[in-house]
Amino acid sequence: MPHILSLDLGTTGNRAIIFDKSGDIVGQAYRELTQYYPQPGWVEHDATEIWEAVKWAMGAALKDAGIEAKELAAIGLTVQRETCLLWDKTTGKPLHKAIVWQDRRTADFCKKIEPSRKEIYEKTGLFLDAYFSATKINWLLDQLGDVDLDNVLAGTVDSWALWNLTGGKVHATDHSNASRTMLMNLDAQQWDDSMLKLFDIPAQILPEIKPSQGIFGHTDPDLLGVEVPIAAIFGDQQSALFAHGCDRPGLLKCTYGTGCFLVASTGEKRERSQNQLLSTVAWTTAKPDGDDYDLGYALEGSMFTAGACVQWLRDGLKIIDDAAETADLATQVEDNGGVYFVPALSGLGAPHWDMGARGAFLGITRGASKAHMVRAVLEAIANQAREVVEAVNQDAGTPIKQLKVDGGACQNDFLMQYQADVLGIPVERPAVLDATAQGAAFAAGLAVGLWDDYHTLVNNRQIDRVFEPSENAEKAQADFVTWQKAVERAKNWID
C-alpha cells in the first residue's frame, strides 16, 4: 500500500510523519532544534542541523512505520516561513546561520525605508517589518564581503531542504512561501523588480517560484535508495489551512505553535485588510497541462509569540518543567489574580505591528503566585487570537461562527476553553493536531493521484472535541478589555 511522507520543519523542531492511504498516521519521528540567541532580539538556527535532522527523521519515521522507502508515493514538505539563509552552491555549506522569523536585528533598517511602507504593502500584501525575509537576506548579503554572487544561493527553509533532498538539482520555492518574503508581487506571483531593488537583492540568487501543489523534483537516489517525487511545498500556516478544508471565504483556522497564526481564506480574490491583517497566498495548484495553476488567497493575522511563551517559562524562567503542567497550574487558581501578560517577546505582530514592543507582566502584587503568572500567559495567547478574530470580522463584515484550531499548544484544555470563552464561539479541535504535516501530506497525495477528492479527504478527519463557551465567558471577555490596556503600556518600549 502506498504511503505519503510529510516533512514538517518547524521553529522548535523537525518532524517526519508517514500517512497511509486512509489518511492515518502510521509512523513518525521528531527532533528538537537548537535555538541560538547571539544578542538580545536575535534568533538563529543552524541550517546544517536542520538538514541532518531531516535525514535522521525520514529514516526514523520509515522504521517506526515498518515500511521501506519504495512504498512512498510522494513527499510533502511544509516549513517555518520567513526564516532564511544563504549557501554556497558548490560546497553546499551555509554561509551564515539561518536568521529565524522571530529575529529583530533588521528593525533599524526597516525604519530607514519607512517611506516605502505603502508601496511594500501594495506590491506584496505585507507590512514593513523585520519579521519577513527581505530585510534578513539584505543583512546576510552585507556580511558576505567580497564573494562571487554567481556561487551564492538564497532561500527560505523550504528551498534549502528541497535543494538538499534533490542532491542540489532543484532550487525552487512555492507561492505560499514566496509570498512571505516581501519580495514577491502578490498580483503577478513573481519576484518584484522594485522590491529586489529596494532591498538590494540580485534576482539570480533567488529560487524559482512554482505551484505549491505539483511535482518539484525527485529525491536523490543516494538519500533513500529510490527516487521519490516531492509533490507539495507549503508554508506551515497555509498547510494547516489546507488540512482544515478552508478553501473558500468564511472559513478560518488558528494554529498554536511557536507563534499563533490565524488565517482566513478569501478564495480567488486578493482582499486588502482595513485592520492590519496581511494579504497572502493560501496555495497554488498546478493544472494538468503544467503551464498554469489555480490560485487561492488568504488574510492572516501573525502573532509572534504563543507556544514560545510557554517554552520561555520552562527554559528561561524555569518555573515549569514541562508544558503539560501549565493547564493544571492555571486551574489551581480561580482567576488570574489581576496579573496580565503581554506576549511581546519578539515585538507585536497583528494587529499592532510594533517592533518596539516588549513582553511584560502587569498587575503583580504580593498575592501573585506562580499559578497566576502561568495562567496569565495562557490567557494572553487566547486574548491575542481574539484581537485578530475581531479584525477578520471587521474586514469580512460577517462574524466568524466557529474557530478551527491545531498545533501543539491546543492540547492544553484550559487554553482552548478560555479561547472559546473569550471569543464567545465554539472552538473545534481535530484528533490530529499536526495539521501542518497533514496538509502537506494531503496535498502531495492528491498531486500524485493517491487520493482523488480533496473535500472527502478533509471531511473524513476525526474531531477530538468542540469547546463551547461556558459560564465563565463574561468574566473572560471583561478580562480581555483589561489585557488590552496592558498591551498599550508595553508598546513602543524600544524607540
d(CA 254, CA 404): 6
103-141: per-residue pLDDT in tens? 989 989 999 999 999 999 999 999 898 989 999 999 999
- Average confidence (pLDDT) over 40-65: 95
Does the pLDDT at position 204 exceed 90?
yes
pLDDT for position 265: 86
Confidence at 288, pLDDT banded by 50, 70, 90? confident
- Average confidence (pLDDT) over 44-54: 96
- Average confidence (pLDDT) over 250-263: 85
Q: Which residue has the cell 560546497?
A: 91
- Average confidence (pLDDT) over 333-348: 93
| Cβ–Cβ under 8 Å, residues 78 and 442 | no
Sign of dihedral through CA atoms 447, 453, 455, 459? negative
Does the pLDDT at position 281 exceed 90?
yes
| Cβ–Cβ under 8 Å, residues 211 and 155 | no
Within 10 A of 211 (CB to CB), how many other CB atoms are there?
Answer: 24
Does the pLDDT at position 397 exceed 80?
no
pLDDT for position 461: 85
pLDDT for position 419: 96
pLDDT for position 133: 95
Does the pLDDT at position 250 exceed 80?
no
d(CA 487, CA 495): 16
Task: Identify the CA nearest to 205 among candidates 130, 161, 140.
Answer: 140
Q: Which residue has the cell 469547546?
A: 467
- Average confidence (pLDDT) over 361-375: 94
pLDDT for position 365: 95
Q: Which residue has the cell 517577546?
A: 345
Cell (9 digits) for 202? 540580485
Portion of the chain with pLDDT greater than 90, in percent: 70
d(CA 432, CA 140): 37
Confidence at 147, pLDDT banded by 50, 70, 90? confident
Does the pLDDT at position 11 exceed 80?
yes
Portion of the chain with pLDDT greater than 70, in percent: 100
Which residues have C-beta within 8 Å of that of residue 100, sequence separation ≥ 6?
11, 35, 43, 44, 45, 80, 83
pLDDT for position 291: 73
414-449: per-residue pLDDT in tens? 999 999 999 999 999 998 888 889 999 999 999 999
pLDDT for position 180: 94
- Average confidence (pLDDT) over 139-161: 92
- Average confidence (pLDDT) over 322-332: 92
Task: Identify the CA nearest to 190 among candidates 208, 204, 172, 202.
Answer: 208
- Average confidence (pLDDT) over 237-260: 86
d(CA 232, CA 93): 25
Of residues 17 and 246, more confidence is placed in 17
- Average confidence (pLDDT) over 350-379: 93
| Mean pLDDT for all residues in the chain | 92
pLDDT for position 242: 92
- Average confidence (pLDDT) over 165-188: 95
Confidence at 355, pLDDT banded by 50, 70, 90? confident
Domains of the chain: 3-244+449-459 (3.30.420.40)
- Average confidence (pLDDT) over 461-487: 94
d(CA 321, CA 394): 40
Task: Identify the CA nearest to 48 among candidates 92, 9, 90, 4.
Answer: 92
- Average confidence (pLDDT) over 64-71: 94
